[in-house]
Amino acid sequence: MQQTRSQQLFEQAQRVIPGGVNSPVRSFRAVEGTPPFIARGNGSRVRDVDGNEYIDYLGSWGPLALGHAHPAVVEAVQRAAADGTSFGAPVEQEVQLAEMICAALPSVDSVRLVNSGTEACMTALRLARAHTGRSKIIKFAGNYHGHADGLLVAAGSGALTHGVPTSAGVPESYAAETLIATYNDLSSVEGLFEAWPDDIAAIIVEPVAGNMGVVPPADGFLPGLRDVTQRNGSLLIFDEVITGFRVAYGGAQSLYGVTPDITTMGKIIGGGLPVGAYGGRSEVMQQVAPLGPMYQAGTLSGNPLAVAAGVATLTELQRPDVYDQLEAAAIRLIDGVTAAFSRAEIPSTVNRVASMFTGFFNPGPVAALAQVEQSDTAAYGRYMHALLDRGVYIAPSQFEAGFVSIAHTDADIDRTIVAVSDALAALG
């Protein structure tokens, strides 16, 4: 695989950008080597600056359920850009996107658009504290909710990949307000409520963990969180930045039949452009300024380009059989990959929920962070590079999710399965 231009750009980037990247996991430090600099994407494929083409299962880390450069999304963005890229004032499309979100999620009576998933989760916690008058929150080890100070404690995603469970620069006094429970272990949550019965404002959880790799919720786990928060006067926050409109049109909450008090969103609702949102039932959202005392603002919130892309994407996702198509593609891929690992006699576990998945170099089961961390990350790194050499692009970290889109054809998937078999054979 030729990487001359990517290597040049990476060296150039490291002189002016920390680590040469604008988000840590892109640096390839966990898997070594040079990250390919992507020049363009179309459908299921991306092409780098050296002309290498890959079948892409990263999908910009989840939002591209329609694939790259979907005509409806491109047209919507071009049309919006021609009228102006930003106003810092209300636009019609933001109302339309908000109405679509509220219609899709029965738990959301109103929604505030922001600019990223980090901003959405950060504000959701502020909102929970404002509503309850309490200060502490519970999060789960390995769940990642963005890089706000109080959430970079036992975090997943890039923090897990780079071995930084708690970021430098986070005051101990602030981190002390974050209590850590074990994902899929209700007893660990109950124990925290017993220790701080009147202090916990909310639980924030990825209903399907996606930032320590894909880890589904155990039976009874999400209903148990709903029960314990209601018994203790706390709020339940679902971080659906990844899962919202990805695992189902109504998100993980519709898939598992559990209703949170607040939902955070991102990724798909911007169709690949920067966006986030938080929403919930009316009595909670009444706390948000200008209606209530909880302040949050953003000059570019409701940006016309992002909301236009979001409206176009959600409109396409409402077409009949879209989610059946995503499910069928994911099943075809995962069945083939699982069989390839079995033939190679390499210990592995593939976790999948709808169109998101992770293959762990780990005999499994993989149901919590402690099990995730037993994975062979060195083997994963060699495997990822072997796939890149064979034209398949997956996440440069064992601890991330992969995604299929409606642009992935049966031929793409069959070619991928062959590439996986060849890559495993090359590992020896």
| Residues that are catalytic | 144, 239, 267
How far are the Cα atoms of 168, 170, 183 from residue 369, in angstroms, in the given order?
A: 22, 22, 7
The candidate with the shortest Cα–Cα distance to 403, out of 46, 27, 22, 66, is 66
Q: Tokens 């069945």 label which residue?
A: 335
Q: Which helix (H) or strand (E) holds 100?
A: helix 92-104
CB–CB of 249/319 below 8 Å?
no
CB–CB of 329/413 below 8 Å?
yes
- Grouping H, G, I as helix, E, B as strand and the rest as coil, residue 179 is strand
* Assigned token pair, 405: 């889109």
CB–CB of 236/281 below 8 Å?
no
Q: Is 187 exposed, middle or buried (0-12, 13-18, 19+ CB in 10 A)?
A: exposed
The candidate with the shortest Cα–Cα distance to 295, out of 123, 412, 53, 106, is 123
Q: Which helix (H) or strand (E) holds 278?
A: strand 276-280
* Assigned token pair, 418: 């062959």
- Grouping H, G, I as helix, E, B as strand and the rest as coil, residue 239 is strand
- Grouping H, G, I as helix, E, B as strand and the rest as coil, residue 276 is strand
> What does R_g of the chain's alpha carbons equal in angstroms?
21
The candidate with the shortest Cα–Cα distance to 56, out of 69, 41, 72, 39, is 41
Rounded to 5 degrees, what angle do the CA atoms 97, 100, 103 make?
Answer: 150
DSSP string, 244-268: BTTTBTTHHHHHHT---SEEEEEGG
Within 211-358, residue ranges assigned H as helices are 221-232, 251-256, 282-285, 304-317, 322-344
Q: How far apart are the first and last CA of the chain?
A: 20
User: Which residues have C-beta within 8 Å of that of residue 213, sequence separation ≥ 6?
Assistant: 351, 358, 360, 366, 372, 375, 398, 399, 400, 401
